[in-house]
Amino acid sequence: MHSVSRSGADALVRLPLFPLKTVLFPRGRLALRIFEQRYLAMAKRCLADGAPFGVCLITEGEEVARRDATAPKFAAIGTCARIGTWDMPQLGILQIAADGAERFAVHAHEVLTDGLVMAEVAPIAPEPRTAISAQRRELAQFLELVASRVDPRHLPDERAFDDASWVGGRLAELLPLPLAQKQTLLEMNDADARVAALQQFIDDSRLL
């Protein structure tokens, strides 16, 4: 990240935010079609500086700005996204694939004159890789099946079917969960608890 300000023992980072009606998990993949000027300018700066932007779930409001509309309300926990590849198929349209990095907590934010949200965020330490337990291996196998049937552009290049954190993140992104439930899973700090919650959803939905 760029531009760090310090207050006591805490280090806050100034980060542009892209509120969306989706939840990005660490080590996930996000495909975006960008056309609003504020986000085109943001993406260009991120590409030029090799810097991330933040993705936060919209809790009230819309993704696309409307005349005289206020910025949407969004969740306080989000995920940094780093642009991996990009393409401009036509003037004014930018297509990007971004990779989820570390999570962060929003401490304060402001809306700039162009409508872009800039926030002061505290990075959250990466979740440790955790070996998936024997009783959850069926989840990893289920994920392999789901992954074989979706557009590969929506999946990260990394594959870690033996890692509970990675498996939980990918299942949370791919399964038809309510967005509020996806956000709850993102905010968990325990990979085993996350996959247990996903197992319960899969069992209740009779997906396995």
In a domain, 129, yes or no: no
pLDDT recorded at residue 67: 62
CA 124 – CA 122 distance, rounded (Å): 6
**44 part of a folded domain:** yes
The pLDDT of residue 157 is 85
Tell me the CATH number at 112: 2.30.130.40
The answer to whether residues 147 and 197 belong to one domain is yes
d(CA 55, CA 193): 23
The verdict on 139 and 115 lying in the same domain is: no
DSSP 63: S
35 & 79 share domain: yes
Q: Which of 166, 122, 134, 128 is closest to 147 using CA atoms?
A: 166
**How many domains does the structure of the chain reveal?**
2
Q: Which 3 state secondary structure label does DSSP give 136?
A: helix
One domain, residues 119 and 150? no
Identify the domain boundary among 123, 146, 177: 123
Specify whether 9 is located in the same domain as 79.
yes
| 81, 26: one domain | yes
Same domain, 58 and 34: yes
Which of 81, 101, 123 marks a domain boundary? 123
pLDDT attached to residue 6:
37
Domain carrying residue 180:
134-205
- 81, 56 Cβ separation under 8 angstroms: no
The whole-number pLDDT of residue 34 equals: 97
Examine residue 181 and state whether it is found in any structural domain, yes or no: yes
Specify the 3-state DSSP secondary structure of 144.
Answer: helix
Q: Collect the ranges in the chain with pLDDT lower than 70.
A: 1-10, 66-69
Neighbours of 146 (CB within 10 A): 15
- One domain for residues 156 and 194: yes
Q: Are residues 29 and 106 in the same domain?
A: yes
